[in-house]
């Protein structure tokens, strides 16, 4: 039995996999301190049989079995956390780790190859707009991890559009990152500053749907920033398709906003823009498929 785990900024999802088929899925909130995280994993997997192997898609990038944070503000204990060792101590079996955006990119790529074997995208970029902004790349049919595991961290590409609250300094230490404009946490931060009360991204989208001009302006600016990043990546990588996922990316109207913004940019033969086919489980599906290929 394969145990697949997807660790994000706000949730942990787990799947019990038999013969490459998910037979049961569970989910719980992410814990933001080490002891609570271990307890969350143990509770989430309670009463499941011991796995033969574990495959993990996780926020951050992998460095010799440890996970490294790019944005240090999201999970306080994460940078340098020995995730592989912790999981091996729980399950006493092989553990394989990959970035969650990379796993999701692989899952979305494979489902398109299965459905469109004649014209599936050879060069695909996956962008997840969620708590943060992450992603992954498949180039010439190959998933790109990079020698340091950071390939596809599109949230830390620079964009010229400033957030509505003008807070430009990212948790990665750089200024002007896409994540500071278009992530769920960034939308919540901007909305809270503009309205003077605590708001989350889901509430902001609901306000925009009701015709609130200020809410729409914040979201539209985020969509323009994503479109600008896509245009830049397209010119570098000659992408066939860009897939948008994550809770913000899949929110009502967000894909259309990004598409309209991209159409306004002077980009010839811009890539096809589509929604994640696997929804919130792109990371789980991708890590299951990726684990099959590991020695």
Q: With contact defined as beta carbons under 8 Å apart, do 105 and 286 qualify? A: yes
CA distance 276 to 130: 13
Determine the length of the chain: 295
pLDDT tens across 207-262, in order? 999 999 999 999 999 999 999 999 999 999 999 999 999 999 999 999 999 999 99
CA dihedral 258, 259, 265, 270 (to 10 degrees): 120
What is the predicted pLDDT for the residue at 64? 86
Give the mean pLDDT of the chain.
95
Which residue has 């099959």 as its token pair? Answer: 292
For the chain, domains (ranges, CATH) are 2-101+281-292 (3.30.420.40), 118-277 (3.30.420.40)
CA dihedral 195, 201, 205, 207 (to 10 degrees): -30
What is the predicted pLDDT for the residue at 295? 75
What is the predicted pLDDT for the residue at 75? 94
CA distance 205 to 210: 9
Helices (H), the chain: 34-44, 83-91, 100-115, 179-182, 184-195, 201-209, 213-237, 246-249, 254-263, 282-292
Q: What tokens appear for 24 in the block?
A: 């049961």
pLDDT tens across 142-183, in order? 999 999 899 999 999 999 999 999 998 999 999 999 999 999
| Percentage of the chain modeled with pLDDT above 90 | 92
pLDDT tens across 114-128, in order? 988 878 899 999 999
pLDDT exceeds cutoff 80 at 53: yes
pLDDT exceeds cutoff 90 at 269: no
What is the predicted pLDDT for the residue at 294? 82
Q: CA–CA distance from 142 to each of 90, 98, 132, 135 (Å)?
A: 32, 15, 25, 15
pLDDT tens across 271-294, in order? 999 999 999 899 999 999 999 888
């Amino acid at each position: 039995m394969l145990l697949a785990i997807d660790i994000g900024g706000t949730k942990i999802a787990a799947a019990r996999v038999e013969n490459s088929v998910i037979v049961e899925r569970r989910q719980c909130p992410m814990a933001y301190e080490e002891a609570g995280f271990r307890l969350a994993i143990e509770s989430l997997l309670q009463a499941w049989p011991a796995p033969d192997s574990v495959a993990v898609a996780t926020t951050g990038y992998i460095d010799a079995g440890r996970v490294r944070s790019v944005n240090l503000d999201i999970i306080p204990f994460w940078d340098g956390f020995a995730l592989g060792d912790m999981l091996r101590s729980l399950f006493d079996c092989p553990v394989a780790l990959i970035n969650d955006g990379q796993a999701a990119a692989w899952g979305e790529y494979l489902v398109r190859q299965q459905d469109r074997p004649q014209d599936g995208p050879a060069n695909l970029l996956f962008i997840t707009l969620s708590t943060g902004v992450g992603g992954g790349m498949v180039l010439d049919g190959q998933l790109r991890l990079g020698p340091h595991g950071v390939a596809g961290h599109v949230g830390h590409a620079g964009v010229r559009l400033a957030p509505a609250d003008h807070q430009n300094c990212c948790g990665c230490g750089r200024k002007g990152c896409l994540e500071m404009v278009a992530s769920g946490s960034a939308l919540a931060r901007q909305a809270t500053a503009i309205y003077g009360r605590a708001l989350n991204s889901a509430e902001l989208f609901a306000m925009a749907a009701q015709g609130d001009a200020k809410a729409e302006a914040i979201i539209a600016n985020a969509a323009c920033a994503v479109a600008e990043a896509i245009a830049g990546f397209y010119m570098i990588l000659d992408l066939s398709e860009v897939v948008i996922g994550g809770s913000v990316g899949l929110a009502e109207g967000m894909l259309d906003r990004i598409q309209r913004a991209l159409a306004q940019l002077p980009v010839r033969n811009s890539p096809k823009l589509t929604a994640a086919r696997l929804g919130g489980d792109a990371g789980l599906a991708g890590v299951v498929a990726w684990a099959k290929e590991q020695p």
